[in-house]
Amino acid sequence: MIGTVLAAQAECRDFWGGLCPDMSIEGEAIARPAAVGETDELFLELKREGYVQVPNALPESTIAPIRYAVSTLFQRGIPVAFAFVYDELWLAYQSFSRFLTAVLGEGYWALPDFWVWYVSPSENASGWGPHRDRVIPTVDDDNSPQTLSVWLPFTDAVPLNGCMYVLPAHLDDRFQERRWDGEGNNVVLRPQDVRALPATAGSLLAWNQAVLHWGGRGSRMATSPRISAAFEFQRSDCRPFNSPLLDPTRVPTFNERLGLIGKQVLQYRHMYPLSDEVADVASSLFERFMPGVPVPDAYPVPTGVAI
């Protein structure tokens, strides 16, 4: 039934505006810099651990509307990735431009790869299972990342509602072997090496895309759901890891967002249950609107970069 509703309403801006009247679509708001602290120290930590965590990077005034919007979509049975129809999610990621520039360099790109989660306080709900975001090489010899996943919690993320878990890079044999694909690449040989990452709402979590990580399982003992989103970015001196690359300083138009959301629903269907109805809606949005997403005039094609 929800597929029928989406098919009729997804392209209607007023539908989305009516669902979340306090959210904006193609408004005039601008991103406010996130509180990330000393980026040089974060970069060093990122190269050793494979991830960084910064509490209270975004204020409650930024995350509260997003939390409400994702909750509203979930309660209506609408795939929560559609929260990216609203400006506020795009602006939240623009807030981290100083951090992303420090890690990825000037002129970094946003990848057309993002997602949203609502993990209910129930044993039947969980985040995505153990995986590496990319199994082709995505780090330099010193573990400087060529690509980066940025994960933002909009509620407190704790073990009872499915917080993130990682295997730190310096404790992962795969980083010694410099090979992240193949059989057993998502197996933890020494469980005590795993690190839980409980995070307060508004925190920043970021990891290089070779890091093994996963979201935990919810529990009926949790006091709230885990609401979060992730977006991926890459350096400008590497070949595109997905296409089309996006200008991170530009918020896509409403129609472009619809095409990009359709792409996400389809490309991540191996990670979650997807009904035929919703898949049909996503396919329609992808076919109608993705061709309108701007493609950079020329991607950098450096020599000696293997991806």
Take residue 197 and report the two structure tokens written for it: 């990452």
pLDDT digits (tens, 9 = 90+) for 206-236: 999 999 999 999 999 999 999 999 999 999 9
> pTM score, two decimals?
0.95
**Beta strands 195-197 and 109-119, pairing class:** unpaired
Q: Is the four-CA dihedral 208, 235, 293, 154 of positive or negative sign?
A: positive
**Architecture of the 7-290 domain:** Sandwich (2.60)
The CA radius of gyration of the chain, in Å to the nearest whole number, is: 19
**Would you kindly state where each structural domain of the chain is located, as residue ranges?**
7-290
The DSSP letter of residue 251 is P
At 206 the pLDDT is 99
Mean pLDDT for 172-180 is 97
Model pLDDT for residues 185-209, shown as the tens digit of each residue: 999 999 999 999 999 999 999 999 9
Q: What is the mean pLDDT of the chain?
A: 95
The predicted-structure confidence for 54-73, as pLDDT tens digits, reads as follows 999 999 999 999 999 999 99
Mean pLDDT for 143-147 is 98
Please state, in angstroms and rounded to a whole number, the distance separating the CA atoms of residues 222 and 190.
Answer: 28
Residue type, 295: V
